[in-house]
Structure 1
Amino acid sequence: MPASRPRNPGDPAHPRASGPLRSFGRIKSRVIKPLQAALFDSLLPSIAVPDPAAGPIDPRALMPEATEVWLEIGFGGGEHLAAQAARRPDVLILGCEPFLNGVASLLRHVDDGDLKNVRIHGDDARAVVEALPDASLDRILILFPDPWHKVRHNKRRLIQPEFVAELTRVLKPGGRLRFVTDWKDYASWALERLQASPHLTWLAEEADDWRTAPADHVVTRYEEKALGDTAPLFLEFERI
């Protein structure tokens, strides 16, 4: 790693937000298709992450043969998670998403692909993270979270100092955290808070490292739409 860091890829970050952690945004929008709705009864119970309110969650107990455990926070329609699971059947991938239409979409992908290494939590990821043991995850993926780009809404952003501390707690030494956004301001905000952690090191050495998708990245329909104010920015960190 170089002695000096690359320049921040976004604009200057806003001051730190504070306050209780909450989920914001839609829980459901369009009507869920009947076949997808049926999977909530026939498939989800067998692949659901245990209720974090019931106590600690041991991810190894969910798939003892797994060589690694990954967590995707906010999987959207599940395209990325399902593709990664198909590529790496040896890896247990936990996916969290409070948007029910997204859960329905991932259930369809899991069913169509007969994926045995996916576990789903249809609610806020922060409760699951709090229930995980220390150093229990090999990778954490946060792709295109809601930017809440109005300044008065910045406190609703997922990346806050308290949550960064929880993420580093559950990430193994040498584990990776990937944050992707198509909003410059959120990239700046996240970079400031992730770099503030003494347990993470940013792996970028030059601008192309955050402008170019990693080799194992899966492009989703959301990314193809380019809904933000810039091309996707990829921030990759390693747990020290």
Structure 2
Amino acid sequence: MSDPKPTEWRNFYGRRHGKTLRDSQREYLDHDLAALAPEGVSFAENPERAPVDPAAFFEGDREIWLEIGFGGGEHMVHMASRYPEIGLIGCEPFVNGVAMLLGKIRQAGVTNLAVYPGDARDLFDVLPEASISKAFLNYPDPWPKKRHHKRRFVTQGHLGPLARVLRPGAEFRVATDIPDYVRQTLEEVPRAGFVLEQESGEPWADWFSTRYEQKAIREGRPPHYLTFRRA
């Protein structure tokens, strides 16, 4: 699979800022983020888009996992705590979510995390082929209006680069409460080089329920859990 052609400008439709940050959250961003942010991902740091070895973000020889859009960071911190032997990279452009994650990292004391506060596509541009062993997409923005479905993550513009950086046999998990998102996921993900292993209403054994999922359940929207394997 050929490398994507990187571009310095690309459309981004989600929110980058929300409510005013608390003083403690500003402190996390000011004092903690720099030590956790991988170097060479942004265009300012790496305008030539030279490949970046994700193993360099962590100490020792580790499998590298990726969470795309970690929200408030509950699942990411849980997985890092449960699997201290792996290195977990999280991408999230929403500043408030990044601040929430940094607070949880402090509280949990986990050290096997890297945080990219931006679009996952920037990371896809610089990661080497077949460098990621597992990926998570939990409760992504549903973009419910039909004319906005092209903005969903489960389109070929996102899935193709994801498939490139995943190792053959790597697991790709998707959790959502939106039936039409399930439909599009089942249609588009296999087209990008994945095989569906399981579609279930029951979560994975190591799943950690997020605040988004809990809200969906309260509002009567049952979760869907889909497991794919990179061919």
Give TM-score, length-normalised by structure 1: 0.85
Counting aligned pairs with the same residue, the percent is 37
Paired residue for 1:231, among 218, 222, 231?
222
What is the distance in 2 between the residues matched to 1:139 and 1:66? 16
Contact 1:182 1:232 in 2 (8 A): yes
Contact 2:55 2:62 in 1 (8 A): no
Kindly provide the amino acid, as one letter, of the partner of residue 203 in structure 1. Answer: E
> Mapping of 1:148-159 within 5 angstroms?
148-159=143-154
What is the distance in 1 between the residues matched to 2:104 and 2:129? 30
Distance 1:43-1:82 versus aligned 2 partners, 3 A rule: same
What is the distance in 1 between the residues matched to 2:21 and 2:181? 31
C-alpha RMSD over aligned residues: 1.6
What is the distance in 1 between the residues matched to 2:61 and 2:106? 20
What is the distance in 2 between the residues matched to 1:225 and 1:67? 34
Residue 37 of structure 2 is matched in structure 1 by: 48
CA displacement 1:89-121 (0-9 Å, x = unmatched)? 111110011110000000001111121111111
5+ long unaligned stretches in structure 1: 1-19
Once the two structures are TM-superposed, the CA of residue 216 in structure 1 deviates from its matched residue by: 1.1
Higher relative contact order (CA 8 A, sep 6+): 1
Q: Work out whether 1:219 is the aligned partner of 2:209.
A: yes
Contact 2:153 2:159 in 1 (8 A): no
Once the two structures are TM-superposed, the CA of residue 40 in structure 1 deviates from its matched residue by: 1.4
Structure 1 runs of 4+ off > 6 angstroms?
none
CA displacement 1:66-97 (0-9 Å, x = unmatched)? 43111000000001101111111111110011
What is the distance in 2 between the residues matched to 1:123 and 1:212? 31
| SS of residue matched to 1:237 | strand
What is the distance in 2 between the residues matched to 1:129 and 1:113? 28
What is the distance in 1 between the residues matched to 2:190 and 2:200? 14
Once the two structures are TM-superposed, the CA of residue 195 in structure 1 deviates from its matched residue by: 1.6
Paired residue for 2:142, among 147, 164, 180?
147
Q: Report how many residues are paired.
A: 216
Give TM-score, length-normalised by structure 2: 0.88
What is the distance in 2 between the residues matched to 1:239 and 1:202? 9
